[in-house]
Amino acid sequence: MTLTLTDPDALLAQRVQTSRQLGGNPELSMHGGGNTSVKVTREGRRVLHVKGSGWDLATMEPQGMPGLWLDPLFEVKDGPRLSDTEMVRFLRSHLLDPAAPNPSVETLLHAYLPARFVDHGHASAVLALASRPEAEQRETVRLLFGDDMIFLPYVFPGFDLSIAGAKAFAAQPDASGMWLAQHGLFTWGDSAEQSLTRFRDAVTACETLLAARGAPLMAPTGRVGNGALDALCPLLAEALTGEVFATLHCDPRGDTTLAELSGQDGIAEAVSRGTVTPDHVIRLKPWPLVLDAGADLGSVQEAIAAFGTAYEQYFRDHATGAETMIDVLPRVVFVPGAGVIGLGRSATEAKIHADLAEQNLRVAATAEALGGYAPLSRTEQFRIEYWELEQAKLRPKS
């Protein structure tokens, strides 16, 4: 694709503005999830500006979208597979500014999609449909979008996803979006507004289908707690305060609608199957701590100990020998019939975990109503949780 010579800083400003719109709507992308890009021309050469790892689309600034020389990125498109370390080193070697943050783990896919603007997010309505078996997802994509949407079965993020996405696009070059099973959605366009509008329209189509199938996605709540959740917070603080949580912050979420949703038969087991998109497992761990409303301190302590034992077994079952186990404490509490609680080392972290836990509950409940919530396997969840490039997202950006 030949890019028209226009003001690169103006294009980057448009990209920043619409990135904030995408990231500012938690139903489209939440707490650092997703990524966006724009292709421009600088010094007579093509440049890709893409979200930097660790940045949040909702608060994006130009410096959060490092520029890379675009053409050299195609050198590895048809070559041998790159390891994570090799890919990061390769991407950094083509940064315009060597001091810029690491580009997104999906940078190469942004590069290989020829449209000027590309958007990627983890929209709730998309995730509800993407958490169903692959054959059903394919039919859903065909029904809603026809040939305008590429369907890509789950591929591990990073280099493998970029190459698989590039091949899928080459086979369907007239499409304007890509559906990633158990993951999220990509859209693209000639303008920032066109790409974002396509993303929004796709999400609206998913919301409409969910409603038509009798499984509407519950709207986000008013983000308030209730007496049962409030009573658990001091017990959790007493049981968890220590090396990891020097000071524990609780964010209870359990208004009437969320409390009712959390009390549905089987929903505690459903949300314990895994997170609604791989990106969330690094924050939430693969399952929540489940507590009964009205639990006393002893019961809370026993449940936390059991959670740790189960997490240690999960690690032993999946570790290859190269990983070091992180702490074994929960980040989310699920209370049937009352709601969820986000736990964090700061109020901000607790809020993030509560937001994601609420989304996980709403999406899982909708997928259950469609026939069953089917997130990634435990093996794939572990790969993501202990993937160095995902863990890097949690480190403070410089």
CATH code of 73's domain? 3.40.225.10
- 3-state SS, 91-104, equals HHCCECCCCCCCEC
Select from 163, 179, 210 the last residue of a domain. Answer: 210
Residue 183 in any domain: the answer is: yes
Q: Does one domain contain both 30 and 94?
A: yes
Amino acid sitting at position 59: T
Nearest to 113 by CA among 75, 151, 170, 69: 170
Residues whose CB falls within 8 Å of the CB of residue 204, separated by 6 or more in sequence, listed in order = none
Q: Give the Cα separation of 199 and 341 in Å (integer).
A: 30
pTM of the model: 0.92
User: Which residue range forms the structural domain that includes residue 36?
Assistant: 8-210
Residue 217 in any domain: the answer is: no
Q: Does one domain contain both 252 and 284?
A: yes
pLDDT for residue 1: 43
Per-residue tokens: 276: 């609604």
Q: How far apart are the first and last CA of the chain?
A: 34
Q: Does one domain contain both 101 and 62?
A: yes
Q: Does one domain contain both 83 and 163?
A: yes
pLDDT for residue 186: 98
pLDDT for residue 397: 44
Q: Does one domain contain both 270 and 134?
A: no
Per-residue pLDDT of the chain (398 residues; tens, 9 = 90+): 444 447 999 999 999 999 999 999 999 998 778 999 999 999 999 999 999 988 999 999 999 999 999 999 999 999 999 998 899 999 999 999 999 999 999 999 999 999 999 999 999 999 999 999 999 999 999 999 999 999 999 999 999 999 999 999 999 999 999 999 999 999 999 999 999 999 999 999 999 999 999 999 999 987 888 999 999 999 999 999 999 999 999 999 999 999 999 999 999 999 999 999 888 998 999 999 999 999 999 999 999 999 999 999 999 999 999 888 999 999 999 999 999 999 999 999 999 999 999 999 999 999 999 999 999 999 999 999 998 765 554 454 44
Q: Does one domain contain both 200 and 332?
A: no
Q: Give me the number of domains the chain comprises.
A: 2
pLDDT for residue 389: 67
Q: Give the Cα separation of 263 and 122 in Å (integer).
A: 25
pLDDT for residue 392: 56
Q: Does one domain contain both 134 and 251?
A: no
Q: Does one domain contain both 149 and 205?
A: yes
Q: Does one domain contain both 290 and 190?
A: no
> How many CB atoms lie under 10 A from the CB of residue 179?
25
Q: Does one domain contain both 60 and 170?
A: yes
